[in-house]
A and B are shown apart, each in its own frame.
Chain A
Amino acid sequence: MAVGERVFMARGIRKNTGARLFIQTVLARAYPRVIGQQREKSWVFFDIALPMIAVSSYVFVYRAIGAPDDYVGFVVMGGAMTAFWLNVLWSMSSQLYWEKETGNLGLYIMAPNSLMAILLGMALGGMLATTMRALVITVLGSWFFDVNFVVTSYFQLFAVFMLTMVALYGMGMMFASLFLLLSREAWHWSNLAQEPVYLASGFYFPIKSFNFWIAAGASIIPLTLGMDAMRQLVFETGPTLGFASVPLEIGVLTGLAVLFLVGARWLLRYMERLAIREGRITESRR
């Protein structure tokens, strides 16, 4: 150590505040998600190979029973969206719990940034990294199974996808505080939610197959209406198999996005207040 020979930099370094600090924080917290994907390649197996196996199984079943060709496309899209659901469950909802365990949560609270910026950064990073995975599944699935896309409105498709992402990751942000508040064993909640949502949200079949009330109830998960709307917009038979009209689904998704983001902000503040008052939430059990 060369202390004494070198000097520290002068005092009074410039530090941004307000909106600049918020944006810096979002980008900085998104960085590990994006860069992590390039350094840790296990996602290729878990987030692409495994969903592709599930997709193949459904495709072969649909082909065996002579289902319409568009059902294969439904399944490929469901397989692609699986990556987002897994990411929201394991890398968003459980994330504050892991941050607590590693000691990062206390540092996040103590820093002058907003915790909401930290969560948005996690969401943005997760979304960017997962979009790459979803694209790979879509391209591979479409190529293997010869899926035919007929896009009726690129604008609506983009709007639905973005709204679905905002609502879905907003839900993940809300769950992040909720999981931390409710449970020390966050992964059990993620395990519990993983498979039922594949069924309830219609990852591999049109949600219209359920009765109205089950489909309406499942619509609280943004992927349910998001996938239903996107299928209506990219497959020829999509509109006949849709649960509700695309404009209505866009409206509901907008409402869910606002609801989850506001809920995430409220729960985050509640969690921070509770953490500071009781002194137990930022503590690791180790």
Chain B
Amino acid sequence: MKQAIFTENLGRVYKLRGGKKEDPRELVALDGVNVEVAQGELFGLLGPNGAGKTTLIKILTTLLSPTTGRAEVAGFDVDRQPEQVRPRINMVSGGESSGYGLLTVRENLWMFAQFYGIPSKIANARIKEMLEIVGLGDRINTKSSDLSTGLRQKMNIVRGFLTDPDVLFLDEPTLGLDVGAARDVRKFIRAWMEESADRTLLLTTHYMVEADDLCDRVAIINGGKVLACDTPANLKHSLQRDALFRLEVSPLNGLSPEIFEAIPGVRKTVHRPRDGRSVLEFILEEENVLAAVMSSLTENDLTVMNLQKREPTLEDVFVELVGKSMSEVEHGGG
């Protein structure tokens, strides 16, 4: 099968400037990333903020040079042949404020279509059609500064799809959207991919459900490294041998959740305070370890209010690979 995206040992190091007397520090944003995405695939990059997802997208969209390794998009080297790559791609980022507020939705989209050489007549017909599809047909002549965040993001989404790219990059496309708008965007993405087998889409997200729901394959990325890459089903299946439990208990009151990991058979524990309670997620080697966990909870004067056995999610896969939940990584906790 034809490859749409290919990276080989891709790395990127940023030099961060300190004060006048300080030497620049180095930040490794990407470290030896190898990814292959086939034409027609909807591929997800799942990871917390700062994992290296946006850096990877910037390299693939010719906006950033790699420090090491190489990458190809649509069969062309992104660093040496950017002029060949650019007509074949497009990108939309979550929360972007591109375009001009004084222009209407149609005018903004027309302007960006011109930058890709689409003749005005074709561009205008496509704009009308696609705005209808995303439910913005009645806002075609509204100034973009008058749109809500959700509607503006729908306009941005149309901007990306308007040029009918061979490879489309969506960087956190549902960031900051309400549930309904995010669902609409996901529906739009799925429909676009289903319509033509030679369209390829790379999506970055830190929403597990989004990756699970949309992607053919998912690469879990953290600290600039790809930790695992497979279909969502296979990734979750890798945890099927484990027993996963969610327990709601009385507040831990300073007690470290790590004490439970000392119990033989407990692989990982994640703690989330919620509504004056503590939610503890356990990954156990087998179900009968739960008895030891319950004993430990009792010994520490914790009352169990709810206990739930559940199926593994991509979040569990992330915890298994990284040792922390995604929110813990993002907030530097754990």
Chain A residues within 8 Å of B, Cβ to Cβ:
1-4, 6-9, 11-17, 20-21, 24-25, 27-29, 31-32, 35-36, 39-40, 102-104, 106-113, 118, 275-279, 282
Q: Which residue of chain B lies nearest to A29 when distances are taken between CB atoms in the complex?
A: B111
Residues of chain B lying within 8 A (CB to CB) of residue A25: 114-115
* In the bound complex, CA of A66 to CA of B102 (Å): 47
* In the bound complex, CA of A2 to CA of B83 (Å): 35
> Does B215 have its Cβ within 8 Å of any Cβ on chain A?
no
Residues of chain B lying within 8 A (CB to CB) of residue A107: 91, 98, 112, 115
> Does B63 have its Cβ within 8 Å of any Cβ on chain A?
yes
With known contacts A11-B164, A111-B116, A276-B64, A1–B126 Cβ distance under 8 A: no
Complex contact B164–A102 (CB within 8 A): no
Q: B99-143 CB contact bits vs A (8 Å, 1 = yes)?
A: 110110001001110111111001001100110111100000001
> Does B62 have its Cβ within 8 Å of any Cβ on chain A?
yes
Complex contact A111–B86 (CB within 8 A): yes
Residues of chain A lying within 8 A (CB to CB) of residue B122: 13-14
Other-chain contact of A13, B14, B126, B134, B191 (Cβ < 8 Å): B126
Complex contact B133–A39 (CB within 8 A): no
21 contacts between A and B (CB under 8 A): A2-B135, A3-B187, A3-B191, A8-B195, A9-B126, A13-B122, A24-B114, A24-B115, A25-B115, A27-B114, A28-B110, A31-B107, A31-B111, A32-B100, A36-B100, A107-B112, A112-B86, A113-B117, A277-B65, A279-B12, A279-B64
Residues of chain B lying within 8 A (CB to CB) of residue A102: 97-99
Task: Please provide the 5 A-B residue pairs with the shortest distance between their CB atoms, ordered closest to farther.
Answer: A28-B114, A16-B117, A112-B87, A21-B117, A15-B117
Other-chain contact of A110, B14, B55, B63, B192 (Cβ < 8 Å): B63
**Cβ-Cβ contact count across A and B, 8 Å cutoff:** 138
* In the bound complex, CA of A20 to CA of B117 (Å): 7
With known contacts A24-B114, A36-B102, A108-B115, A2–B132 Cβ distance under 8 A: yes
Complex contact A28–B111 (CB within 8 A): yes
* In the bound complex, CA of A31 to CA of B117 (Å): 15
Residues of chain A lying within 8 A (CB to CB) of residue B58: 279
Complex contact B87–A15 (CB within 8 A): yes
With known contacts A3-B133, A111-B86, A103–B96 Cβ distance under 8 A: yes
> Does B258 have its Cβ within 8 Å of any Cβ on chain A?
no
* In the bound complex, CA of A1 to CA of B131 (Å): 9
Residues of chain B lying within 8 A (CB to CB) of residue A112: 83, 86-87, 115-117
Complex contact B133–A110 (CB within 8 A): no
* In the bound complex, CA of A7 to CA of B196 (Å): 11
Other-chain contact of A17, B65, B87, B99 (Cβ < 8 Å): B87
Q: Which residue of chain B lies nearest to A101 when distances are taken between CB atoms in the complex?
A: B97
Q: B52-89 CB contact bits vs A (8 Å, 1 = yes)?
A: 00010010011111000000000000000001001101
